[in-house]
A = this chain, B = another copy of it.
Amino acid sequence: MVIERPYLLFLGDAKDALAAKTGQGIVDWRPDAVVGQLRLPGCGADLRVAELSVREAAALGAKTLVIGAVNPGGVLPAAWLTPIIEAVRAGLDVASGLHTRLTSLRDVSDAAKRCGRRLIDVRQPVGSFHTASGRKRTGQRLLTVGTDCAVGKKYAALAIERELRRRGVCADFRASGQTGILIAGSGIAIDAVVADFAAGAAEALSPDNAADHWDVVEGQGSLFHPSFAGVSLALLHGTQPDAFVVCHEPTRQTMRNVETPIASIEDVIEHTVALGRLTNADIRCVGIALNTALLSSVHAADAIAETRRTFGLPACDPLRDGVADIVDALLA
């Protein structure tokens, strides 16, 4: 499943920048994939790209209208239907990561059938998967893992892909969640796959490749999150990473949406190695990515320096400092 480019990013009446985070992620990490944005009256977000109507975007070659905003509950508001149907009629596919499926919306679905356009619900895995084989594949793989959900695994992986490419190394970001899929234009929402096939889906996500090629795989959840550890382990086994980076948010006290205390970086390294060895005997930790968005720059620098000292590994905030040190260790 590939989402065709370039995109027109639809922000609807998103109330602020946070609600348009998906659109912002696409602009930040795949600027070449974007022709512009389409906003409704009252929209409080602005991606600072060309303001286009559906017709103007189509004339500029836009292939897909991407829903780049969320609204409370993940439901698609009625006011968004008209521009979505207009996009379909103008010859665009539509891609969405919202809970409400595009294919469940009668008028949208009818219009897409009539116009021969695709409705892409990235939360819904496409096709069927095999159970994982555990067979070692060619090429190299890096997985970002976490002490919790929502600690920056996706952006760490995207920063590593960018730094590898900057150095002339062949690398592909592999998306395992809906926002990552919209950014990358393809991928598999691993947590939406039936449990029996989750590791098999992770194998399909990072197939055989050239010996010097790196797949940089977006992690999910945490081995220590009581809701999602099974997903994390399936992704670890299926990805069979040669290298991993631990992502951590230093102010977090408890895991997201549960009362479980946050896991330690040390425990995550130890168990990722112990369990990851099953499908890759040479697995190693190459660095730690701290998400210091909630810290001042002074406190962030302190936290990063202390992490580096404690673990004897490269540490950085990918969004503040880039990931050059981690990539140095990866390629050493």
A residues engaging B (CB < 8 A)?
A: 131-135, 190-196, 198-200, 223-224, 226-235, 237-238, 255, 257-260, 271, 274-275, 278-279
Contact = CB atoms under 8 A, between A and B. Distances in A.
B226 A199 contact: yes
A150 B223 CA distance: 25
B278 A230 contact: no
A230 B275 contact: no
A44 to B, nearest CB: 30
Contacts of A257: 131
16 contacts: A132-B226, A133-B227, A133-B258, A134-B255, A134-B260, A190-B195, A191-B194, A196-B231, A199-B228, A199-B230, A200-B227, A226-B237, A229-B237, A231-B234, A233-B233, A271-B275
Contact of A230 (B133, B198, B227): B198
B196 A194 contact: no
Contacts of A199: 226-230
A187 to B, nearest CB: 15
The 5 A-B pairs of least Cβ separation, nearest first, read A230-B234, A134-B226, A191-B196, A230-B230, A195-B198
Most-contacted residue by chain B among A135, A228, A255 (CB, 10 A): A228
A214 B238 CA distance: 35
Contacts of A255: 134
Nearest to A191: B196
Contacts of A194: 191-195
Contacts of A278: 224, 226, 229, 260
B196 A133 contact: no
Contacts of A228: 131, 196, 199
A199 B257 CA distance: 14
